[in-house]
Amino acid sequence: MDGSYFKRHKGRHLRKYFKEYCENTTIHGFRYLAEKRSIVEKIFWIILILSSIGVCSYLINRIYEKYRTSPVIVSFATKESPIFTIPFPAVTICPVTKASSSMINFTEVYYKKVDNETVDPIEYVTKDELYAQYMLLLCDLNPARFPKNETFSDEFFEVIDKASDPISLPQFAVTAGCKFMGKARSCYQLFTRIILDEGVCYTFNMLNREEIFQNDVIYSLLSMFYDNFHHNGLESKWNRDNGYSDNAQRDTYPRRALFAGADNALSIAFYHYENDTDYVCANNEVQGYRILLHTPDTIPLLKKQYFQVPFDQGVLAAVQPKMMTTSSGVKNFPAEDRDCYLSDEKPLDYFQIYTPGNCKLECLTNYTLKRCKCVNFYMPRKNSTPICGNGKFRCMRQAEMKLKSLQLKTFGQSDKDNQDYCDCKPLCTELSYDVELSQTELKLQETLRAYRVKGHKHIAENIIKENYFSVRFSTLTIFFKLEQFLTSQRNELYGPTDFLANFGGLLGLFTGFSLLSLMELIYFFTLRIFCNTRRYRVWSGPLEEAKPSDFQEGQRKVQ
């Protein structure tokens, strides 16, 4: 066959091959297009086929969008977990009063400066007005009468440490002290002094400094001076992803409660001298202690979240843990789709461990450094980073407010869209502690009388010598409410298998399309064309109207 033959019969070949496909395909409706019927019937079936394909495509697109944007569903685990598989919450206690009046009478100095009076240096235990300026940062005050310093030296930490001497603020009461799991413990062994946004605080069950921070980071821990932020050399046997290691003993670190109930609690009793109370610096009508329960690997910020133990009150805190895990299938998704980070997925500059709290603190630190050229006293820093003085008070406050506004504007955008956006997603393995509080008034005088009756006369006499009428007592008891808790888990809502099943189900429902239908299409456009060409020298096969002599003549010319 010469070229003129193919040109003359090109359209006939196409029609013939399409008819052949329609007669043999398993897709619904196509065979009616191959029959010798009226044009109206064929148009009718073309409209039905196109409508089915259109509706099917629309529904498949909706399933794909759901698969792409909401691939994760949160469901409850199939069984409960015992409380000894998770650590006892880290407990951070911050006194509302920031300094002892016997060290720095900040209230008197404050009003003298506001009234533009001369401050006698003898009113400072350190004989230096600069130290009162240190207290302004702790008290969150910015009065105009005080001299303003742009930055402070590391002496700042020594002064506020001395101002909140552990002998007087707070005192762990000699009448009870501390107990954990029913055993009396030394409060000063259980608790570590640490500087947070609330000033000098006390923390229990936090990880060691070396396990939280990067090696080149300076954090304003009082361990810089006391070297006690190491928990007697105990090494952590726990991490978020894997829990406690197999070789963890009963007395492992971080500490865990083996049983629930108030008899297995962390119990704390402390007292405070009334003449040490500073209402100006506290800026709070409720005096006492601010408490936060958090995970051992997170640096807490008590200005953002806490509950309060007032003076002369006994507080019971029943804890119910909440834990969220992530299935292995969801972990294979990109972080943007699962909306959480693995513990080693987002590196931080200051912290070795990623948590949303650590990430937000680092973000605030970087933004404050960018705007103010220094960081607040409680923020992590490098050697060359200065500490902001009271002259930068307004700048630090504005930086924090600006960052909050910026996060709202850039919410949902990627880190590439705005370099100041923190992108502090939740952890894929989350742990938090819900607290149910109850409190009652303490009867101090009745308690002292009871000590005399019970034969503890020496204890009552010692407290009376200290003028117990000016002493304010508080107690705190923290325990797990139940011995089991139910965890939640992120699972696949639409995995690849589910998406394929829905995709195929819609195609089968509207068109009868199946895997074999796909193979038919591939066959008709590849193997069948190849075989037709080899056998008939024509990709579509012989036309029924062509004479045998035409093919014989064409074969002779090819040969």
Q: What is the pLDDT of residues 385-396, one digit of tens each?
A: 999 998 898 999
Q: Which residues are paired to 202 by β-bridges?
A: 93, 193
d(CA 150, CA 374): 9
Residue among 309, 349, 354 nearest 335 (CA): 354
Residue 173 has pLDDT above 60, yes or no: no
Note the pLDDT of residue 284: 65
d(CA 103, CA 412): 49
Residue 231 has pLDDT above 60, yes or no: no
Note the pLDDT of residue 210: 84
Note the pLDDT of residue 448: 65
Spell out the residues 6+ positions from residue 116 whose beta carbon is closer than 8 angstroms to its own.
145
Note the pLDDT of residue 368: 95
**Are 427 and 298 a contacting pair, CB within 8 Å?**
no
Please, which pLDDT band fits residue 543 given cuts at 50, 70 and 90?
low
Place of tokens 């259980």: 190
Amino acid at 452: R
Instruction: Please state the rounded mean pLDDT for residues 460-470.
Output: 56
**Are 213 and 350 a contacting pair, CB within 8 Å?**
yes
Residue 361 has pLDDT above 90, yes or no: yes
d(CA 201, CA 290): 9
* Strand-strand pairing, 243-244 and 238-239: antiparallel
Residue with the larger pLDDT of the pair 312 and 543? 312
d(CA 176, CA 448): 13
Note the pLDDT of residue 481: 94
Residue 167 has pLDDT above 50, yes or no: no
Note the pLDDT of residue 4: 53
Residue 480 has pLDDT above 60, yes or no: yes
Please, which pLDDT band fits residue 120 given cuts at 50, 70 and 90?
low
Residue 431 has pLDDT above 90, yes or no: yes
Please, which pLDDT band fits residue 123 given cuts at 50, 70 and 90?
very low
Instruction: Please state the rounded mean pLDDT for residues 234-240.
Output: 80
d(CA 373, CA 388): 8
Note the pLDDT of residue 17: 80
Spell out the residues 6+ positions from residue 23 whose beta carbon is closer than 8 angstroms to its own.
31, 34
Q: How many CA atoms lie within 13 A of 262 on its CB side?
A: 8
Instruction: Give the predicted TM-score (pTM) of the model.
Output: 0.75
Helix, strand, coil abundance in the chain, percent, nearest 5: 40, 20, 40
Please, which pLDDT band fits residue 522 given cuts at 50, 70 and 90?
confident
Spell out the residues 6+ positions from residue 118 whose beta carbon is closer than 8 angstroms to its own.
112
Amino acid at 272: H
Q: What percent of the chain has pLDDT over 90?
A: 24
d(CA 433, CA 204): 15
Q: Across the chain, what does the average pLDDT equal?
A: 79
Note the pLDDT of residue 224: 39
Spell out the residues 6+ positions from residue 203 whose beta carbon is closer than 8 angstroms to its own.
90, 91, 92, 93, 191, 192, 194, 300
d(CA 308, CA 310): 6
Q: pLDDT tens-digit profile of 51-89?
A: 888 888 888 888 887 777 766 776 677 678 899 999 999
**Are 470 and 61 a contacting pair, CB within 8 Å?**
no
Note the pLDDT of residue 137: 84
Residue 275 has pLDDT above 60, yes or no: yes
DSSP assignment of 182-203 equals: TEEE-HHHHEEEEEETTEEEEE
Residue 405 has pLDDT above 50, yes or no: yes
Note the pLDDT of residue 122: 45
CB 496: neighbour CB atoms within 10 A?
Answer: 12
**Are 426 and 339 a contacting pair, CB within 8 Å?**
yes
Residue 342 backbone dihedrals phi, psi, to 5 degrees: -75, 160
**Are 89 and 279 a contacting pair, CB within 8 Å?**
no
Instruction: Please state the rounded mean pLDDT for residues 466-489.
Output: 83
Spell out the residues 6+ positions from residue 428 whose beta carbon is closer than 8 angstroms to its own.
324, 325, 326, 330, 331, 338, 340, 341, 342, 343, 490
Least confident window among 90-99, 106-115, 286-295: 106-115
Residue 130 has pLDDT above 80, yes or no: no
Phi-psi region of 412 (alpha: psi -120 to 50; beta: other; left: phi over 0): left
Question: In this structure, what token pair is assigned to residue 394?
Answer: 């307004």
Packing angle, helices 130-139 and 155-163, rounded to 10: 80
d(CA 116, CA 32): 100
Q: pLDDT tens-digit profile of 322-352?
A: 998 888 878 888 888 788 898 888 999 999 9
Question: In this structure, what token pair is assigned to residue 13?
Answer: 């070949």
CA angle 224/226/228 to nearest 5° reads 95
Residue 308 backbone dihedrals phi, psi, to 5 degrees: -115, 140
